[in-house]
Amino acid sequence: MNPPHRHRPHSAAGFTLIEILVALLILGIMSALGYGTYRAARMSAERTEESLKRSREIEFGMRMLVQDIAQTVPRPVRDILGQTRLPALQGTGGIGTLTPLPSSTSTSGSTSSSGMSFATQSFNSGANFGGSTSASLAPIMDLTRAGWSNTAGQQRGTMQRVSYALVIDVLKRSYQVNLDTVQGNKPVVQDLLTGIKAIQLRYLDENQAWQSQWPPSNIAAPANLWSRPAAVELIIEFKDWGRVRRLIEVAG
């Protein structure tokens, strides 16, 4: 009699617990590596975008400053009472304290002191920077400039009275639609540059001598009302970007 047929057991299907744990471990390691790479790339992209944004801000602000100074015209303005005429350009030596530069990296052709402090000198100005906290600030520069574009076709001239002041660490630009100061007119105030540590200004007179303020004391009234420097040296030290220097030739 033949013995009964025996069925051989089939091999167990699926993965063992150890195989699953190993697979999960490998997946976790790969995920961690991938996230680290993604996070580093994301942070690098954000830093690059912030740097580009900051670069565009500084480039625009410096271009505005250069245009204003270069297009200065000999046109005095009247104060808010209409009794006193203010010079076409009046400016201080700056504000703040520039960080001293190593002797090996001093700016070529510049004789200004790298660690000098600048306190804004007060002068009669019709400037207003808006708000009760900053309206009384003494500007570091007032000027009348030409070439004010009028794309909207407004009823106004092409000359513009511009003032600059440093409020905390923000360089503000202020102007009014009327060239001469008028009571009741609110100024247009723009935050031009941020993160500023110090600003230095110097003015080159007709004798090729640098002056720390304008008009200089050697130009008597009334000629000082129309006087303009031949060039202006502008140094702005930013908290994050260091120094930016421009030598601006005044047109005419």
pLDDT in tens, 117-168: 666 666 666 666 754 344 447 789 999 999 888 777 777 778 999 999 999 9
For the beta carbon of residue 111, count every other beta carbon within 10 angstroms. 8
DSSP letter at 151 equals T
Residue 11 confidence (pLDDT): 53
The larger pLDDT score, comparing residue 176 to residue 61, is at 61
Q: How confident is residue 176, by pLDDT bands cut at 50, 70 and 90?
A: confident
Q: How confident is residue 54, by pLDDT bands cut at 50, 70 and 90?
A: very high
Q: How far is CA 185 from CA 85, 109, 152, 156, 177, in A?
A: 19, 43, 19, 14, 8
Residue 135 confidence (pLDDT): 44
Q: How confident is residue 66, by pLDDT bands cut at 50, 70 and 90?
A: very high
Dist CA 236 CA 98 (whole Å): 8
Residue 146 confidence (pLDDT): 92
User: What is the rounded average pLDDT of the residues 60-65?
Assistant: 95
| Range with the poorest average pLDDT among 34-48, 54-68, 79-93, 109-123 | 109-123
Per-residue b or e along 80-94, where b marks 16 or more CB atoms closer than 10 Å to that residue's CB: eeeeebbbbbbbbbb
Residue 154 confidence (pLDDT): 77
Is residue 82 predicted with pLDDT exceeding 80?
A: no
Q: What are the domain boundaries of the chain?
A: 51-249
Average pLDDT in the chain: 82
- Give the tens place of pLDDT for each residue, 183-214: 777 888 999 999 999 999 999 999 999 999 99
User: What is the rounded average pLDDT of the residues 85-89?
Assistant: 92
Residue 89 confidence (pLDDT): 95
